[in-house]
Amino acid sequence: MDNDRIKKEAKQILDKFAKALAKVDSEKVEIGVDRDEFERKEGEGEECEKDFKQKMLENAPNHDDDFVIAERGSWK
């Protein structure tokens, strides 16, 4: 019974959004950003902690000596 109410509310939200989106003039919507320079300038960077890599590897559930081992999409 609760699932039906949730589905009904979700449909109402999506329908309301679709109506609002239909009112948007697609000619006025600009995509992207105009910049003088396309790429950022690289700096010297910052020095990180000596044991940062080891801390990261210890924090990962699966790892080997050099890399975190993760399955793509495993968080789903």
What are the 10-residue block averages of pLDDT along the chain, 76 residues in total? 90 94 74 78 84 88 87 70
- φ/ψ of residue 63, rounded to 5: -160, 165
Give the integer Cα–Cα distance in Å for 13 and 3: 15
- pLDDT of the residue at 34: 77
- pLDDT of the residue at 5: 93
What one-letter code names the amino acid at 15?
A: D
The token duo for 24 is 């948007």
pTM (2 d.p.) = 0.34
Question: Where does 23-68 have alpha helices with state H?
Answer: 52-59
